[in-house]
Amino acid sequence: MRTEAARLWGEACSLIAKELPEKDYETWILELNPASFEDDTLTLEAPFGLFRDRVRQAFLPAIERAVSVAADKRCRVAVVVGACGRARPATTVRRRPAADRARGVNARKTFDSFVVGDSNRLAYLGARQIADGKVSGGNPLFLYGGNGLGKTHLLLAIANHLKSRGRKVLIYHGEEFTRRMVDALSLDRMAAFRREFQVADALLIDDIQFIGGKKRTQQELFHAFNLLHGAGKPIALACDRGPGELEEVETGLRSRFQGGLLADLAPLDSELRSRILKVKAREARLSIADNLLESIAARMNGSVRDIEGLVLRLKAAVTHQECQLDEHTVEQLIAPYVAASAPVTLDKIVDTVAWMYGISRAELLSRDRSRRVAWPRHVAAYLCRRLTNASLPEIGEVLGGRNHTSVLRAVRSVNDRVSGDAAFASRLREIEAMLGRRPR
């Protein structure tokens, strides 16, 4: 009961962190401790009475919304005084930039502003095809890849293109879709919720992985999907992994995702980074030599979002510090963005794989044999073997004291999957890019 409460509270906290100011979140939410979850009520413990009263008064609606979304059903939250210290949620909360939280359609995200290269060409062409109404064989469009590679840009480009032609477009974040469904369920407005899909001309959902494990949400999406798909209306989905890796999504829905065009956005290569950097610098009206931009791009391992952050940093230096962007100044400014020259360590691989799969380091090193934890552990073993010179016993020791036979078995299982699963192979390349290393 307490374990379920902790899991639910950890997921709810990741939602609350996106809604509340950071100061409020850290001052009030992180001090609450999950005590129990029963009869659709999550009980949270506060350190003292005045604290409890403040949470009830100011934050209870936001907490109940987040818990309901995390549980995939209408839930209540009880805040009581308990013997709790500072209790951070079990899952690490990665706050999204404010610009990513809004589901409004950013008019600047168009096909013309998307820089095309070998790593994203199929995704771009698939998005153009969907936007032009050519759905035969490419519907749904399933975009997948790491953060900041352009999936959201392409979804918004589709939306802008369709809206410019007077089409009614439904565009959601996976979390928002769940929240809307839960609200409709609790207010007895499911008929109105479903009617939205009956009159829509297109359905676009970002971060579709969020619906994993939420059976009622998946049921509603399944019906909406069939309704639009059967009418020949475009559907585009974006995800951080291929549909074959969405193990908490029902088989029927997952098969729908796989029934159209699967298009991965791979990590940027140096040539594409260089072109994107030049475009972003031009948009920001930065005066900087092309050869210097090319040198920066060759040393970065980041995403489009990282490139945009670097350009903002350069722009701020010019605007507020009146710097000249010569080679020496640029070298200082780009330091946080260029690839580290330090070798990849076993610990770094463990931490990166755990982060990519949304589990903690402690879970990865534990004796937990569930698929959710065991598979990332296999991936970590594979990458430790592939990217370092460590022996099998050394890798086993780092992975929680496992023997060399277990490590070898894990490496072989990942090897077998790489050869037949393009989506998984792309995910491995993404992790390697994050680590900043080529195989030894």
Q: What is the predicted pLDDT for the residue at 299? A: 78
| pLDDT for 376 | 93
Both structure tokens of 215: 């059976």
**What CA–CA distance (Å, rounded) separates 387 from 428?**
12
Lowest mean per-residue pLDDT among 45-49, 324-328, 341-345: 341-345
Kindly state the tokens that stand for 207: 């971060």
The residue type found at 4 is E
Taking CA atoms, 318 is separated from 283, 300, 325, 326, in Å, by: 15, 21, 7, 11
200 touches 228 (CB < 8 A): yes
Given a contact cutoff of 8 angstroms between Cβ atoms, the answer to whether 260 and 140 are in contact is yes
Average pLDDT for 157-173 = 92
Angle between helices 60-71 and 2-19 (to 10 degrees): 120
Query: Average pLDDT, stretch 115-137?
Result: 90
Looking at residue 320, its pLDDT comes to 61
- Answer whether 388's CB lies under 8 Å from 349's CB: yes
pLDDT of residue 226: 94
DSSP state, residue 103? -
pLDDT class for 95, splitting at 50, 70, 90? very low
Report percent pLDDT > 70 for the chain.
90
> What pLDDT, on a 0 to 100 scale, did the predictor assign at position 44?
92
Mean pLDDT of the chain: 83
Collect all residues with Cβ–Cβ distance below 8 Å to 323 and sequence separation of at least 6.
Answer: 317, 329
Mean pLDDT, to the nearest integer, of 348-365? 88
**Three-state secondary-structure class, residue 235:** strand
Residue 83: pLDDT band (50, 70, 90) is low
Report residue 403 as tokens.
């023997």
Residue 327 CA, chain-centre distance (Å), reads 35
The pLDDT of residue 254: 93
* Candidate ranges 76-85, 255-264, 429-438; pick with highest mean pLDDT: 255-264
pLDDT top residue among 78 and 14: 78
Question: What average pLDDT does the segment 425-440 reach?
Answer: 67
3-class DSSP assignment, residue 149: coil
Strands (E), 199-339: 202-206, 235-239, 261-265
CB atoms inside a 10 Å sphere around CB 402: 20
Reported as a pLDDT band with limits 50, 70 and 90, residue 93 is very low
Instruction: Look at 423 and 39; give whichever has higher pLDDT.
Output: 39
pLDDT of residue 88: 43
The 3-state DSSP class for residue 134 equals coil
> Quick check: 315 pLDDT over 60?
yes
Mean pLDDT of 335-359: 78
Phi/psi zone of residue 34: left (φ > 0), alpha (ψ -120 to 50 degrees), beta? beta
* pLDDT tens-digit map of 367-421: 888 888 999 999 999 999 888 878 888 899 999 989 888 898 898 889 888 877 7
Closest CA to 384 of 420, 345, 433: 345
Q: Do residues 259 and 161 make contact, with C-beta atoms less than 8 angstroms apart?
A: no
Work out the pLDDT band at 105, boundaries 50, 70, 90.
Answer: low
Task: Assess contact for 278 and 295: CB atoms under 8 A.
Answer: no
Contact 19, 93 (CB under 8 A): no
Place of tokens 């809307």: 180
Per-residue pLDDT tens for 281-291?
888 888 888 88
Beta strands in 83-193 (DSSP E): 141-145, 169-173
Count CB-CB contacts under 10 A for residue 217.
24
According to DSSP, the β-strands at 261-265 and 76-81 are unpaired
pTM of the model: 0.62
- What percent of the chain stands above pLDDT 90? 32
> Using 50, 70 and 90 to split pLDDT, how confident is the model at 339?
low
Residues 312-316 have a mean pLDDT of 79
Highest mean pLDDT, choosing among 20-29, 208-217, 327-336: 208-217
| Rg, Å, the chain Cα set | 23
List the structure tokens of 325.
């962007």
